[in-house]
Structures are given as C-alpha cells and as structure tokens.
C-alpha cells in the first residue's frame, strides 16, 4: 500500500506528537500571549555570560526561556520513563552533530526562527515570511541530506 | 531596568513550564528527538515529519485564528493576542539556507536537541554546544557590523 511505503512506522505517533507540540505552544500562547520558539533560547541564554547588545535584547525573556527549555527536557524524559524505553544514544557521528549544530545556531538566529518558531508558530499564524523560511530550509536540508548519504557518510 | 517577562504573574513560569513539558512529550513521542528519524525524512524514507509539523501548525493555527480575532488579552500578562509575524528580508532566506545545511547534515534542530537530551542522548551535547557556538558567532559578527566605524577606521577610509 502507498501509505505503508510513505509511513513505514505508522502515522499515529507522528500526528499525536505534532498535535501535542501544538497544544504546548497554544497553552503558553493562550495564557501569556507569547509565541514561544525554541531557538531564541540560544541567544537569550548567552546574555547571562555576554553583554553583547545582540544577546542583551533578550534579557527580559531569558529566565522563562530557560524554564521552557527545561520543560522540554523534562517532558521528553518523562515520556521515555513512562513507556519504559531505556537511554537512547544516536549513532550519527559527532562531527556531523557539531558542525551541523554550528550552522543551525547561525542560521536559526539570522533567519529569525527555527522549526518551532517559523514552522509551528509562524506557519500557524499564516505568516508568508515563515512559509518562505520553512520552504527554504526544507529544500536545502533535503538536498544536503541526500548528498551526504550519496557520498557514503552513514550514519 | 530590571523588568522581566516573568514579573507579570505568579503562574507565568508554571504555565511556561507546563507548555514546555507538553512540547517535550510531543517531540519524544513523534521521534523528532532522534536525528535518525529526521534524516530518514530528508532522504524520503519516512515522511512522518510532515505529519508532525502539519499537526502542530493546525493546532496552533486554530488557536491563533480564534484568539487573534478576540479583543481579550492574555490572562497572565495582559498582552494582546498577536500573530507571530516577522518582517521579510534577505536574512530570512540566507538564515534559512544556512539552517537547512546544518539540519540536513545533522538531523537536529534546537527544540528537538533539548528533547534529545531528555531521552538520555548525551551525544547530542555535540550539537547543542555547536548551536551555542553558532549563535555566539553570528551575534558577535553582527554586533561588529552594526557598530559605527571608529574614528581611526574612518581616517583610513578617507586616505584611500
């Protein structure tokens, strides 16, 4: 069947997980009016250590962004404990994680958001800026991932 | 100035924490906390990521549409409900491209990286360290570019 070839591990956990991500975002938005994205945490947290104006501008939000990020860690840990999964370690090579991480850090901050800020909040807001950003990073990431795989880098 | 967003209401930080926990459960349940699952999507082996993004955007889209049209203000902050709209400039496309290269190389994005730590994947600290380094780098460079040139640099320019 077509569906099974497109979604070999099923669809339910993807849909349910995505909707839970949405519910978490809506809970914060509905109570505070704030669209919480995940990547601003990087710069707002740097303001604890650096007085650069680029990071200082996030000073008013830096405390709650730490709390939001801790919530994400706690939520993921709770799920793992609840379903009885043991500790899971990625096999993706450290150089890919580190180099990719640097580019993600630069790109999300320069581009004004990431998969949650643009992808969930911005797209949910019907923002054309966010649609353009998401379209750009999706197309580029697909090309890079296919290229890296074609070069024989695995995992 | 010492004002912070969280001065608003004693329930502000608990609300943010609760939202973050749901967000983290969603990332773990959907497999997005595992870079391998994201890389499988980018190589068209499993399109589940589209359902995750779509599911999340539909839920938030409904809330933004309903709350955005109301005159009410957020109970814990008194803020108006505005949509998340950012101005479009070249940075949005350049940044998106750089992010895309990083995401395609590593299979990891910020929220998913935090969740990955939650499922015990300490190896992801390579990516989190990299993200902080990248965020720091772009901040320092952009601060330098935004700073007006020093008198000495102006003299050099004038003599050229």
What would the pLDDT profile of B50-99 be if each residue is shown by its tens digit?
A: 999 999 999 999 999 999 888 999 999 999 999 999 999 999 999 999 99
Q: CB distance B112–A115 less than 8 Å?
A: yes
> Is the complex ipTM more than 0.95?
yes
**Cβ <8 Å between A102 and B133:** yes
What part of A 9-48 touches B (C-beta under 8 Å)? 9, 11, 13-36, 38-39, 41-43, 45-46
Return the pLDDT at B2. 45
Indicate the pLDDT class of residue B6, thresholds 50, 70 and 90. Answer: confident
8 Å CB contact of A24 and B26: yes
Q: Cis ω on the peptide bond leading into residue A155 (within 30° of 0)?
A: yes
Put simply, the answer to whether B46 touches A7 (Cβ < 8 Å) is yes
B133/B124 Cα distance (integer angstroms): 14
How confident is residue A3, by pLDDT bands cut at 50, 70 and 90?
confident
Predicted TM-score (pTM) of the model is 0.94
Residue B5's pLDDT band, with cuts at 50, 70 and 90, is confident
* B100 touching A (Cβ < 8 Å): yes
Among A121-125, B16-20, B64-68, B156-160, which is the least confidently predicted range? B156-160
B149 touches chain A (CB under 8 A): no
Phi/psi class of residue A10: alpha, beta or left (left: φ > 0; alpha: ψ in -120 to 50)? left
Structure tokens at B53: 């993004």
Q: How far is CA B155 from the centre of its chain?
A: 41
Which residues of chain B lie closer than 8 angstroms to A23, CB-CB? 22, 26, 59
Contacts of A89 in chain B (CB under 8 A): 120-123
Q: Give me the pLDDT at residue A11, please.
A: 97
Contact A75 B115 (CB under 8 A): yes
Residue whose C-alpha is closest to residue B42's, from B102, B124, B117, B111: B102
In degrees to the nearest 10, what's the CA dihedral of A127, A132, A133, A139?
A: 140
Alpha carbons B41 and B51: distance in angstroms, whole number: 11
User: Which residues of A fall within a CB distance of 8 Å from B110?
Assistant: 38-39, 41-42, 104, 108, 114-116
> What is the per-residue pLDDT for A27?
98
A80 beta partners = none
Asked if B48 and A11 come within 8 Å (Cβ–Cβ), the reply is yes
- The residue in chain A having the minimum alpha-carbon distance to the alpha carbon of residue B82 is A33
Among the partner residues A70, A115, A146, nearest to B43 by beta-carbon distance: A146
What distances in angstroms separate CA A149 from CA A152, B42, B44, B105, one per listed residue? Answer: 5, 10, 12, 10
Q: What is the mean pLDDT of residues A19-34?
A: 98
């Amino acid at each position: 069947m077509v569906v099974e070839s497109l979604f070999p591990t099923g669809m339910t956990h993807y849909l349910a997980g995505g909707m839970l991500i949405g519910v978490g975002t809506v809970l914060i938005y509905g109570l505070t009016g704030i669209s919480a994205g995940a990547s601003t945490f990087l710069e707002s947290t740097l303001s604890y250590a650096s007085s650069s104006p680029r990071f200082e501008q996030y000073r008013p939000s830096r405390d709650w962004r730490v709390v939001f990020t801790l919530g994400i860690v706690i939520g993921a840990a709770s799920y793992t404990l609840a379903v009885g999964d043991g500790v899971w370690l990625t096999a993706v090579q450290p150089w890919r994680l580190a180099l990719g991480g640097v580019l993600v850090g630069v790109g999300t901050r320069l581009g004004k958001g990431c998969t949650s800020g643009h992808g969930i909040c911005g797209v949910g807001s019907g923002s054309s800026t966010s649609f353009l950003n998401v379209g750009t990073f999706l197309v580029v990431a697909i090309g890079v991932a296919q290229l890296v795989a074609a070069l024989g880098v695995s995992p | 100035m010492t004002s912070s967003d969280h001065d608003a209401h004693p329930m502000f930080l608990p609300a943010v924490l609760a939202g973050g926990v749901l967000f983290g459960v969603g990332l773990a349940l959907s497999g997005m906390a595992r870079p391998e699952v994201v890389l499988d999507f980018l190589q068209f082996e499993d399109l589940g990521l589209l359902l995750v993004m779509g599911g999340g955007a539909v839920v938030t889209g409904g809330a933004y549409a309903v709350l955005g049209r109301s005159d009410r203000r957020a109970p814990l902050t008194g803020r108006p409900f505005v949509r998340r709209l950012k101005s479009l400039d070249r940075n949005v496309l350049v940044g998106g491209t750089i992010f895309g290269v990083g995401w395609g190389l590593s299979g990891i994005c910020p929220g998913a990286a935090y969740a990955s730590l939650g499922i015990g994947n300490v190896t992801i600290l390579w990516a989190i360290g990299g993200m902080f380094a990248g965020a720091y780098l772009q901040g320092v460079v952009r601060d330098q570019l935004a700073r007006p040139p020093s008198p000495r640099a102006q003299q050099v320019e004038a003599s050229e």
